[in-house]
Amino acid sequence: MLPLYEMMMRAQNGEAMQTMSKQFGLSVDQATQAMEALMPAFSTGLKRSSLNPQDFGGFMQALAGGHYADYFNNMTEAFTPQGISEGNAMLGQIFGSKDVSRAIAKQAELATGIAQDIYKRMMPVVASILMGGLFNQATGSSSAMQGNGGNVFADMFSQMMEQAAASQKQAAEFTGQLGKMMENTFGNAGQDKPDKEAPINPFADIMDTMMKAGFPGMQQNDEPKTDEPEDAYGKFIGDMFDAGTKVQKEYQKNVDAVFDSLLKGSKKS
């Protein structure tokens, strides 16, 4: 799976930085520097907002519910009111609060000399485009995202995306199809059925099931180790949300400090 930085470089057939530079009054080199400064923060935020399969299920549902693929394939759409609105919504999903977003913009300003105000305007656009890249990569739906080998998760994500885009009834039917497997996996056949009014998130159900049953290619043992699911899931999330750009340790330390201080004691959804 492509790292976040490389995805941004491939957006709009590789013309992403030219478009960014024109939109925000920067040189192409400055736009590239801005991406190098932002990607570690996005990577950290994505990883922290997907600490467990349930959180990741919520992220995938939000990802499938927007028009993000359009923003990756045609960046001009990301600058529209709808693109900015959906980008801001995703920033909330990734960073958890506006305070974190502002602090990330400040850190990027200190690292690059590019004004914090530019980063504030840039970040929702970057979020929309980046999510489009993740969507295409997960579903294998864009030739721009190919050339990095096979994606063993593409089929799984494609199915998950289709379910999120479907109606509540269709999602319920799909979840029902997984019922027997889930009962065998969780041992909850005797439990009461969930309230019909409760929101359905087939992503979280699938991720929970896969963490118990194993990702594709995960070696299975008769007596699975208790730490194996966490290791497999952590590697999966780490690979999917790899920043793909090297930064100074001090800068990454400052990014981590933003999340640690501003989200201390809170749970991101």
Query: What confidence score (pLDDT) does residue 207 get?
Result: 61
Q: How confident is the model at residue 181 (pLDDT cuts 50, 70, 90)?
A: very low
Query: What confidence score (pLDDT) does residue 100 get?
Result: 94
The C-alpha atoms of residue 24 and residue 168 are separated, in whole angstroms, by: 40
Query: What confidence score (pLDDT) does residue 240 get?
Result: 78
The C-alpha atoms of residue 60 and residue 259 are separated, in whole angstroms, by: 21
Per-residue pLDDT for 105 more than 60? yes
Single pTM value for the model: 0.71
Helices marked H in 49-115: 53-64, 68-73, 81-95, 98-112
Tell me whether residue 231 is in a domain: no
Tell me whether residue 212 is in a domain: no
Spatial CA neighbour of 4 closest among 264, 241, 263: 241
Tell me whether residue 158 is in a domain: no
Tokens 């570690």 sit at which residue? 40
Tell me whether residue 119 is in a domain: yes
Tell me whether residue 161 is in a domain: no
- What Cα–Cα distance (Å) separates residue 247 from each residue in 4, 137, 173, 204, 255? 14, 24, 46, 33, 11
Say how many domains are in the chain.
Answer: 1
- What Cα–Cα distance (Å) separates residue 99 from each residue in 149, 233, 250? 38, 28, 21
Question: Of all residues in the chain, what percent carry a pLDDT higher than 90?
Answer: 36
Spatial CA neighbour of 156 closest among 133, 177, 137: 137
What tens digit of pLDDT does each residue of 64-99 get? Answer: 788 898 999 899 999 999 999 999 999 999 998 999
Which range marks the domain in which residue 100 is found?
Answer: 4-149
